[in-house]
């Protein structure tokens, strides 16, 4: 289960695209506005957990490298360019290197890394189909355009491979200078363009023959909004409301300059943090319970 | 009332002297199955395109085309979209979305139906066409046959009353083509949809048609029952035959060439019964074949030793990656110089991989390949080679880096144009040529590199019978000049008639090989139509001409 990740077959992916989308809007949106260490820690840990759960062990290394360098770079760069703050660590060429600038750089970096790692799992959950569906709701043409792009990318790749082979057969596989190779590549690209333009006339005919351009086009999809979608949506909205209230009350913010001030951890902060953690962990809980159910049904057989 | 009706239609393209359609008059009744045939460029496509409003070609037109009681050009857009379905040649170019289910729904989305209705119609279509197993797949994962079936299903989802198909099987292999035609036949029988189909592979289409429409230079020269078409085309003897006669199914050709009278048989079964009857009349006994229960000699057939082969392959093993199955399994083969060597076999047995291995595009894990002489390969899609704006430049481009004066180069190009019989097209754009002409231009381009061994990948795909004859002549000229041709093909009839050596490829190796005269009589299923029809009496006759002669002589 953890080797290759659950992937697209995850239980949470099976929910309606709107539910998936709203989850990510909440998760990423709130992450972007909270720099308090509690909240940063929560979003950082959970984004990591979910991406590894979906994509497997292979993604750990990639995430690590990426997180490490972003953290180092941002913390260091901020220290060198911002000299505000009261706690001076040392001077470099008469410039104050402050503790506050370092903490701000670090917090901002953690926030950025979390957002980007949220997108790792977003890519798995929000498959092309779901994006097409969501854009298709906005305007049918938009959804169709997206769908056509996903159709033509593999087609062009295939065609290019064929052209490459044809040209290789014509010219033989002799070694060539770099300029000759670039020329050859240009030629292959030009063949691809003229071939594709030519065939797009037929595609246009085929679209028009099937009534494309008539007024009132709809956008077909295979999704159904069921009771469990509604339930999850309500839970998410409830938790989201709590977190947003907390954020409005200033429970998720901190002050960096001139001095780093962390507010007292009161009841409301605890409540907001609890709701936030639960909200972010929802897909993880859903996916793990889904996996467990699969294991059980496997044993029962 | 008729479904579609052409009233004295004359049509010419801009800047063209001769009309593409010349006083065409005919009508099609509801639920009829019409097959349109004729040489490439005879006006078939132009005729079919006049039946669909948005596809009517641009040019000067006289006369009227009516659908029901309205002019096609004045049809309501919604009615045009849903009631008249049009399937084109190329399976890939007609698909526009990324998923099978989305493609099925495309037309219904255009019509503005709601989700529930679309779902129901799509479900119906998927079940009828057997698409449910690949309903959620990406279209890029489908085979050519599946793609074309999807195009058809997507159109049928709109419940058309008239289905027009312009050479829908020309890009498919024979098995997929046959399946596709059967599906159309089923639609015609089950739903009563009127079908108008243009085809080159008439063997099967003839047995389905209610009427056959034969065109020549923009005119209708025959519109009749398929059993009577042969009579009209054969004239009175060999010299007065219409060229279209050579495009008819083998059974029909044999019947009339052997002197049959009246209505011709259409299927192999009918052909066999006819020969049986004729032979009984003349008192000839069926030959004694080797019964199945008799054992073979038991000795492994040793491939004949060929001195100085053009291509020598020994014990080739190849697989695409570590964990996949072997595609080539100990392939051993020698190809003699100056021959047209044909490899036959089904899909996915490793034929194309063999070509790639010879061309050096894939490196076998084990074994030895030797090619004597310069090598070139003609890809399946000639478009993969075209870079220039006219035929002449296209050929000249190959000589770009060569030594020699411009004059010599131009001379070479002119010679090549003559050899390929495309001199009249020297100023045309490569994309404006027909499939057969493109094929020959590509071959010309390959030949200018002066190869001694040429690999051909499905060179006859999508060609009409007449272009095949021209191509065969060109190939013969090449082998006479000492070049070796190695062709991979699905086209049994072509290989039987023109190949010097045929081989059956199966499971990563060659199962049997030999000249057509020895190769085909030894097969039971994998042989020409003509041979299957007459094998009880004349097992060694392979091509239709041989069978026609044998039968004709003994009647």
Q: Where are the domains of chain B?
A: 4-224, 245-299+529-554, 309-528
Q: Give me the pLDDT at residue A243, please.
A: 92
Question: Mean pLDDT for chain A?
Answer: 88
Q: Quick check: B110 and A209 CB within 8 A?
A: no
Most A CBs within 10 Å: which of B90, B97, B170, B488, as the mutation test of the A interface?
Answer: B97
Name the range with the highest mean pLDDT among A126-135, B16-25, B185-194, B370-379. B185-194
C-alpha–C-alpha distance, residues B25 and A53, integer Å: 69
Q: Give me the pLDDT at residue B465, please.
A: 85
Residue A212 to chain B, least CA–CA distance (Å): 5
Q: Quick check: A194 and B360 CB within 8 A?
A: no
Taking residues B5-16, what's their average pLDDT? 90
- pLDDT for A172 beyond 80: no
C-alpha–C-alpha distance, residues A48 and A62, integer Å: 11
Q: Quick check: A166 and B85 CB within 8 A?
A: no
Task: Write the residue in B118, B140, B379 that is nearest to A169 by C-beta.
Answer: B379
B269–chain A Cβ distance below 8 A for any pair: no
Tell me the chain A residues in contact with residue B400 when contact means C-beta distances shorter than 8 Å.
none
Q: Give me the pLDDT at residue A92, please.
A: 80
Q: Quick check: A213 and B140 CB within 8 A?
A: no
- Give the burial string for B488-509 (b: 16+ CB within 10 Å, else e): bbbbbbbbbbbbbbbbbbeebb
Do B4-224 and B309-528 have matching folds? yes
Q: Quick check: A217 and B112 CB within 8 A?
A: yes
Question: Mean pLDDT for chain B?
Answer: 87
* Closest C-alpha to A211, from B55, B166, B117: B55
Tell me the chain B residues in contact with residue A208 when contact means C-beta distances shorter than 8 Å.
54-55
Q: Give me the pLDDT at residue B485, please.
A: 93
C-alpha–C-alpha distance, residues B415 and B490, integer Å: 31
Name the range with the highest mean pLDDT among A161-165, A272-276, B40-44. A272-276
Taking residues B227-236, what's their average pLDDT? 84
For the domain B4-224, what is the CATH code? Answer: 3.40.50.300
Residue A122 to chain B, least CA–CA distance (Å): 20
Q: Quick check: B376 and A210 CB within 8 A?
A: no
Tell me the chain A residues in contact with residue B78 when contact means C-beta distances shorter than 8 Å.
211, 214
φ/ψ (deg, to 5) at B346: -75, -170
* Closest C-alpha to A290, from A42, A15, A89, A73: A15
Tell me the chain B residues in contact with residue A177 when contact means C-beta distances shorter than 8 Å.
none
Q: Which range (A249-263, B81-95, B105-119, B247-261) has the least confidence?
A: A249-263
Residue A197 to chain B, least CA–CA distance (Å): 11
Q: Quick check: A140 and B55 CB within 8 A?
A: no
Q: Sign (positive/negative) of CA torsion A197, A198, A199, A202?
A: positive
Confidence grade of residue A140 (pLDDT, cut at 50, 70, 90):
confident
- pLDDT for B302 beyond 60: no
Confidence grade of residue B237 (pLDDT, cut at 50, 70, 90):
low
Taking residues A229-256, what's their average pLDDT? 90
- pLDDT for A34 beyond 70: yes
Query: Are B361 and B455 spatial neighbours (Cβ–Cβ below 8 Å)?
Result: no
Task: Write the residue in B107, B113, B376 that is nearest to A210 by C-beta.
Answer: B107
- pLDDT for B170 beyond 90: no
Q: Give me the pLDDT at residue B545, please.
A: 87
Task: Write the residue in A190, A203, A220 that is nearest to B115 by C-beta.
Answer: A220
Q: Give me the pLDDT at residue B291, please.
A: 53
Query: Are B42 and B219 spatial neighbours (Cβ–Cβ below 8 Å)?
Result: no
Tell me the chain A residues in contact with residue B139 when contact means C-beta distances shorter than 8 Å.
151
The complex's ipTM works out to 0.85
Per-residue pLDDT of B455-488, as tens digits, reads: 998 888 878 888 888 889 889 999 999 899 999 9
Tell me the chain A residues in contact with residue B445 when contact means C-beta distances shorter than 8 Å.
170
Per-residue pLDDT of B182-206, as tens digits, reads: 999 999 999 999 999 998 888 889 9
Q: Quick check: B158 and A210 CB within 8 A?
A: yes
C-alpha R_g of chain B: 25
Q: Give me the pLDDT at residue B243, please.
A: 82
Query: Are B365 and B319 spatial neighbours (Cβ–Cβ below 8 Å)?
Result: yes
Q: Quick check: B139 and A147 CB within 8 A?
A: no
Most B CBs within 10 Å: which of A211, A215, A216, A225, as the mutation test of the B interface?
Answer: A211
Q: Give me the pLDDT at residue B25, please.
A: 94
B111–chain A Cβ distance below 8 A for any pair: yes
- pLDDT for B289 beyond 70: no
Residue B159: CB atoms within 10 A of its CB come to: 16
- pLDDT for A171 beyond 70: no
C-alpha–C-alpha distance, residues B255 and B257, integer Å: 6
C-alpha R_g of chain A: 26
Per-residue pLDDT of B99-138, as tens digits, reads: 999 999 999 999 999 999 999 999 999 999 999 999 999 9
Tell me the chain B residues in contact with residue A144 when contact means C-beta distances shorter than 8 Å.
97, 109
φ/ψ (deg, to 5) at B217: 45, 50
φ/ψ (deg, to 5) at A52: -70, -40
- pLDDT for A254 beyond 70: yes
- pLDDT for B153 beyond 90: yes
Most A CBs within 10 Å: which of B383, B445, B451, B458, as the mutation test of the A interface?
Answer: B383
Tell me the chain B residues in contact with residue A165 when contact means C-beta distances shorter than 8 Å.
356, 361, 379, 384
Q: Give me the pLDDT at residue B296, please.
A: 52
Tell me the chain B residues in contact with residue A218 when contact means C-beta distances shorter than 8 Å.
109, 112-115, 118
Tell me whether residue A293 is exposed, middle or buried, using C-beta atoms within 10 angstroms of its C-beta: 0 to 12, 13 to 18, 19 or more: exposed
The domain limits of chain A are 11-131+226-297, 140-210
**Domain B309-528 sits in which CATH superfamily?**
P-loop containing nucleotide triphosphate hydrolases (3.40.50.300)
Q: Give me the pLDDT at residue B17, please.
A: 82
Query: Are B98 and A150 spatial neighbours (Cβ–Cβ below 8 Å)?
Result: yes
* Closest C-alpha to B343, from B488, B154, B140, B516: B488
Q: Which range (B70-74, B181-185, B211-215, B294-298) has the least confidence?
A: B294-298
- pLDDT for B438 beyond 90: no
B198–chain A Cβ distance below 8 A for any pair: no
């Amino acid at each position: 289960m953890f080797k290759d990740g659950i992937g697209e077959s995850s239980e949470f992916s099976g929910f309606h695209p709107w539910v998936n989308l709203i989850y990510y809007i909440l998760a990423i949106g709130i992450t972007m506005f909270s720099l308090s260490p509690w909240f940063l820690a929560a979003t950082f840990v959970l984004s990591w957990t979910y991406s590894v759960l979906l994509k497997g062990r292979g993604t750990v290394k990639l995430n690590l490298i990426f997180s490490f360098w972003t953290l180092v770079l941002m913390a260091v760069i901020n220290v060198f360019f911002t000299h505000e703050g009261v706690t001076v660590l040392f001077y470099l060429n008469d410039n104050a290197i402050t503790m506050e600038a370092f903490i701000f750089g670090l917090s901002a970096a953690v926030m950025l890394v979390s957002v980007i790692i949220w997108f790792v799992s977003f890519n798995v959950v929000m498959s092309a189909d779901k994006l097409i569906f969501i854009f298709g709701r906005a305007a049918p043409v938009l959804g169709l355009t997206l769908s056509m792009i996903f159709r033509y990318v593999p087609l062009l790749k295939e065609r290019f491979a064929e052209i490459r082979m044809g040209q290789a057969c014509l010219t033989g596989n002799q070694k060539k200078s770099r300029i000759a190779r670039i020329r050859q590549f240009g030629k292959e690209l030009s063949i691809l363009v003229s071939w594709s333009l030519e065939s797009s006339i037929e595609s246009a005919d085929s679209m028009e023959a099937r009534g494309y351009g008539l007024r009132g086009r709809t956008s077909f999809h295979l999704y159904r909004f069921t009771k469990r979608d509604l339930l999850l949506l309500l839970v998410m909205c409830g938790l989201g409301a709590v977190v947003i209230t907390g954020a409005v009350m200033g429970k998720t913010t901190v002050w960096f300059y001139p001095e780093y001030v962390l507010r007292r951890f009161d009841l409301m902060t605890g409540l907001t943090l609890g709701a936030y953690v639960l909200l972010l962990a929802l897909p993880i809980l859903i996916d793990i319970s889904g996996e467990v159910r699969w294991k059980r049904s496997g044993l029962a057989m | 009332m008729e479904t579609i009706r052409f009233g004295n239609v004359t049509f010419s393209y801009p800047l063209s002297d001769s009309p593409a359609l010349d006083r065409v008059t005919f009508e099609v009744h509801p639920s009829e199955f019409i097959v349109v045939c004729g040489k490439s460029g005879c006006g078939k496509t132009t005729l079919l395109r006049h039946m669909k409003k948005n596809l009517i070609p641009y040019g000067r037109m006289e006369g009227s085309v009516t659908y029901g009681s309205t002019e096609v050009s004045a049809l309501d857009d919604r009615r045009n979209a849903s009631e008249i379905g049009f399937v084109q040649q190329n399976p890939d170019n007609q698909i526009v979305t990324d998923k099978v289910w989305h493609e099925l729904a495309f037309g219904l989305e255009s019509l503005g139906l709601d989700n529930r209705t679309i779902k129901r119609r799509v479900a119906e279509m998927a079940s009828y066409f057997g698409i449910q197993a690949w309903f959620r797949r990406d279209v890029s994962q489908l085979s050519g046959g599946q793609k074309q079936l999807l195009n058809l299903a997507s159109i049928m989802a709109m419940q058309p009353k008239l289905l027009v198909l312009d050479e829908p099987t020309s890009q498919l292999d024979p098995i997929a083509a046959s399946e596709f035609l059967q599906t159309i036949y089923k639609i015609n029988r089950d739903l009563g949809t009127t079908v108008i189909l243009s085809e080159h592979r008439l063997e099967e289409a003839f047995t389905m048609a209610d009427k056959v429409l034969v065109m020549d230079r923009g005119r209708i020269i025959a519109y009749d029952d398929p059993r009577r078409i042969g009579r009209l085309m054969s004239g009175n003897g060999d010299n007065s035959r219409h060229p279209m006669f050579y495009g008819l199914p083998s059974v029909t050709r044999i019947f009339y060439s052997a002197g049959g009278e009246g209505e011709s048989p259409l299927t192999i079964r009918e052909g066999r019964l006819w020969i049986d009857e004729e032979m009984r009349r003349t008192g000839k006994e069926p030959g004694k074949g080797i019964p199945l229960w008799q054992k073979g000699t038991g000795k492994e057939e040793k491939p004949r030793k060929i001195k100085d082969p053009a291509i020598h392959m020994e014990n080739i093993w190849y697989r695409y990656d570590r964990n996949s199955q072997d595609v080539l399994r100990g392939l051993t083969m020698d190809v003699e110089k100056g021959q047209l060597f044909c490899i036959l076999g089904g899909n996915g047995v490793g034929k194309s991989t063999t070509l790639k291995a010879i061309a050096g595009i894939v490196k076998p894990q084990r074994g030895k390949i030797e090619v004597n002489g310069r090598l070139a390969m003609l890809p399946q899609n000639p478009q993969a080679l075209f870079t220039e704006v006219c035929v002449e430049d296209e050929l000249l481009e190959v000589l770009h880096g060569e030594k020699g004066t411009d004059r010599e180069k131009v001379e070479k190009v002119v010679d090549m144009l003559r050899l390929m019989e495309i001199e009249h097209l020297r100023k045309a754009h490569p994309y404006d040529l027909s499939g057969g002409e493109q094929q020959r231009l590509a071959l010309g381009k390959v030949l200018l590199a002066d190869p001694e061994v040429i690999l051909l990948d499905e060179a006859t795909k999508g060609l009409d019978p007449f272009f095949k004859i021209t191509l065969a002549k060109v190939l013969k000229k090449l082998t006479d000049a000492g070049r070796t041709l190695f062709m991979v093909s699905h086209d049994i009839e072509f290989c039987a008639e023109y190949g010097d050596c045929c081989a059956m490829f199966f499971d990563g190796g060659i199962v049997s090989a030999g000249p057509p005269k020895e190769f085909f009589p030894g097969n039971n299923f994998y042989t020409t139509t003509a041979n299957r029809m007459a094998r009880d009496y004349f097992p060694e006759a392979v091509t239709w001409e041989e069978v026609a002669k044998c039968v004709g002589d003994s009647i």
